């Protein structure tokens, strides 16, 4: 097996066969000996190595061994200094490198963008300068476009790059001529600068000012990007922590921003109390992933904006996208099954007669009570839609506020009708769910006490239950409405023209036209 040698050419590592390495070393030594009497030999050798590395990168695949034939071909293309012109014409192949766009700072006024474009397209740079000046009047688009080209087009620094910019043949003789022209141009520029009058100095000053303005704009853009990234990271981290606490631990973090009360009960516990499902995690985990994955992605974007991180994160993005789509799918299936359990409605109606003495009509005193003061009931400040979560004898139950409507009765005795509504998978289940809602009223002498809440047992969960109380009063019946009923009095009273806050604390009488103040 042939020996191989690892070498660095123009800053790039290559693996050469021993014979190829010998040919390359001999060639470089020969070039160096022919240029030994020239002051710019070191610069020429550096450019030649750069060109050899470029040609090897084009012709040899990565991690492949370079054979001697490839080195011979490159040496033949580049040639030797002071090589006979006739011998160059007799070569079988005319090696001309493709042109490349560079910024020509030697002929440029600001950054060499227009002069570089002019050299590439073989057009007078004045044409491009006129175009950019015209674009300045389009809301400053010319300045932005110039800045983009400045940042994206590299500057032609070496003689080899200048030859690529002009599209010249890249032989050693041409390279030497380019270096000689650069040396001669230095003296010419010095003499020209001495002869430049006020106009030349003014143009140069304006160019320098524009350079500093563009640099300042670049700094401002970087500062704005850092601020945006910092705000993005801080905001998304706060939101992520709040999301974790709200769903899995306690909703303290969202107490002022959502319908959750935020007293230390997790969303998982709330879902288990409300939704008919074996475990609340079937909803909370997909729900968490749906929101958490975009939040984490924004945090990562903030870090990339600030620190300019370049990472191969394609696989990670695909995994996150698949996980996010799976979470949405799982959440959709669960939601569909829950919606199905609300497809039918049911109602349970019960009637309670009010005991009165027809021989001695008296005023009925209707009141409620503050259930929070009841020692067996503790209200948790968490509200879910129109329901509240209470702790009743150590058990967390859902409760809601009933609605009280006072109507005129066609009968001679007052009565109360309790209407309970609920949803379910079918009408039978919906009616059963409505019947199981717990609500009661009590009467002692002429005092009627209405429960301020109705309670939903845990075994039926939340199915949009509601309770409506209809108090039917015959004409002539007087009633005193206590302040404790203010929260459950319905705003839409069919036989009354007063608002609930106007009804409480007063005595009323039912007339043919509805409730009127008692005299």
pLDDT digit string (tens) for 304-351?
A: 877 776 666 778 889 999 999 999 998 888 888 878 888 899 999 999
Place of tokens 């019960």: 350
The string of pLDDT tens digits covering residues 124-136 is: 877 787 787 777 7
Task: Give the number of other Cβ atoms within 10 Å of residue 391's Cβ.
Answer: 13
For residue 479, the model assigns a pLDDT of: 92
Please calculate the CA angle 277-278-283 and round it to the nearest 5 degrees: 60
pLDDT at position 186 over 90? no
Report the share of the chain in percent with pLDDT over 90: 18
Pairwise CA distance, residues 82 & 175, whole Å: 11
Burial tier of 492 (Cβ tally within 10 Å: 0-12, 13-18, 19+): exposed
Q: What is the mean pLDDT of residues 356-385?
A: 64
- Least confident range from 169-178, 451-460, 480-489, 492-501: namely 169-178
Q: From 111, 104, 113, 120, select the one nearest 182 (Cα to Cα).
A: 104
Which residues 6+ apart lie within 8 Å of 367 measured at CB? 447, 448, 449, 450, 482, 484, 485
pLDDT at position 69 over 60? yes
CB 394 within 8 A of CB 403: no
Looking from the CA of 115 toward its CB, the CA atoms found within 13 Å total 13
pLDDT at position 169 over 70? no
For residue 152, the model assigns a pLDDT of: 80
pLDDT at position 403 over 90? yes
CB 441 within 8 A of CB 469: yes
For residue 420, the model assigns a pLDDT of: 96
Side-by-side strand order, sheet with 65-66: 4-9, 12-17, 65-66
pLDDT at position 380 over 50? no
pLDDT at position 202 over 60? yes
For residue 86, the model assigns a pLDDT of: 44
Query: Where does the pLDDT of residue 182 fall: very low under 50, low under 70, confident under 90, or very high at 90 and above?
Result: low
pLDDT at position 457 over 80? yes
Query: Where does the pLDDT of residue 385 fall: very low under 50, low under 70, confident under 90, or very high at 90 and above?
Result: low
Q: Which residue has the higher pLDDT, 393 or 29?
A: 29
For residue 421, the model assigns a pLDDT of: 95
The string of pLDDT tens digits covering residues 417-444 is: 999 999 988 999 999 999 999 998 999 8
pLDDT at position 259 over 80? no
For residue 230, the model assigns a pLDDT of: 87
Mean pLDDT of all residues belonging to the chain: 77
Q: Which residue has the higher pLDDT, 215 or 444?
A: 444
Q: What is the mean pLDDT of residues 84-94?
A: 43
pLDDT at position 184 over 70? no
Pairwise CA distance, residues 425 & 478, whole Å: 44
Q: Which residue has the higher pLDDT, 278 or 403?
A: 403
pLDDT at position 87 over 60? no
Q: Which residue has the higher pLDDT, 90 or 43?
A: 43
Phi and psi torsions of 414, nearest 5°: -70, 150
pLDDT at position 261 over 60? no
For residue 52, the model assigns a pLDDT of: 82
Buried b (16+ CB within 10 A) or exposed e, 107-116: ebbbbbbbbb
For residue 9, the model assigns a pLDDT of: 83
For residue 266, the model assigns a pLDDT of: 63
For residue 365, the model assigns a pLDDT of: 93
């Amino acid at each position: 097996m042939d020996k191989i040698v690892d070498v660095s050419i123009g800053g790039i590592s290559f693996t050469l066969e021993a014979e190829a390495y010998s040919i390359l070393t001999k060639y470089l030594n020969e070039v160096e000996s022919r240029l030994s009497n020239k002051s710019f030999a070191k610069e020429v050798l550096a450019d030649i190595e750069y060109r050899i590395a470029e040609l090897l990168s084009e012709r040899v695949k990565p991690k492949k061994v370079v054979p001697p034939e490839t080195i011979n071909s490159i040496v033949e293309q580049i040639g030797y200094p002071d090589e006979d012109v006739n011998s160059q014409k007799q070569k079988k192949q005319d090696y001309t490198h493709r042109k490349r766009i560079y910024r020509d700072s030697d002929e440029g006024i600001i950054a060499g963008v227009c002069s570089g474009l002019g050299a590439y397209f073989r057009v007078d740079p004045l044409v491009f300068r006129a175009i950019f000046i015209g674009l300045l009047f389009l809301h400053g688009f010319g300045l932005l476009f110039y800045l983009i080209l400045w940042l994206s087009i590299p500057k032609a620094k070496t003689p080899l790059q200048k030859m690529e910019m002009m599209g010249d043949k890249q032989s050693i003789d041409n390279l030497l001529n380019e270096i000689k022209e650069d040396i001669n141009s230095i003296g010419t520029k010095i003499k020209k600068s001495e002869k430049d009058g006020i106009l030349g100095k003014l143009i140069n000053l304006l160019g320098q000012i524009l350079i500093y303005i563009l640099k300042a704009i670049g700094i401002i853009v970087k500062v704005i990007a850092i601020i945006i990234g910092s705000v993005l990271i801080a905001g998304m981290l706060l939101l992520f922590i709040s999301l974790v606490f709200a769903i899995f631990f306690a909703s303290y973090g969202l107490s002022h921003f959502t319908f959750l009360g935020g007293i230390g009960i997790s969303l998982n516990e709330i879902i288990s109390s409300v939704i008919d499902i074996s475990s609340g995690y079937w909803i909370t985990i997909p729900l968490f992933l749906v929101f958490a994955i975009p939040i984490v992605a924004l945090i990562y974007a903030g870090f990339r904006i600030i620190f300019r991180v370049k990472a191969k994160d394609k696989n990670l993005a695909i995994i996150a996208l698949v996980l996010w789509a799976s979470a949405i799918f799982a959440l959709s299936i669960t939601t569909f099954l829950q919606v199905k359990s609300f497809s039918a409605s049911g109602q349970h109606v019960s009637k309670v007669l009010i005991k009165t003495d027809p021989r001695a009509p008296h005023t009925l005193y209707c009141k409620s009570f503050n259930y929070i003061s009841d020692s067996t009931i503790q209200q948790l400040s968490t509200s879910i839609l129109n329901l509240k979560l209470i702790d009743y004898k150590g058990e967390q139950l859902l409760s809601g506020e009933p609605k009280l409507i006072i109507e005129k009765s066609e009968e001679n005795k007052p009565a109360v009708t309790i209407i309970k509504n609920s949803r379910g998978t079918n009408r039978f289940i919906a009616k059963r769910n409505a019947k199981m809602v717990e609500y009661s009223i009590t009467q002692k002498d002429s005092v009627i006490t209405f429960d301020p809440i109705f309670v939903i047992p845990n075994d039926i969960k939340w199915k949009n239950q509601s309770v409506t109380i209809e108090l039917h009063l015959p004409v002539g019946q007087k009633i005193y409405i206590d302040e404790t009923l203010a929260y459950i009095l319905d705003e839409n009273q069919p036989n009354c023209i007063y608002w609930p806050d106007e009804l409480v604390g007063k005595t009323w009488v039912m007339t043919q036209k509805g409730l009127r103040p008692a005299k």
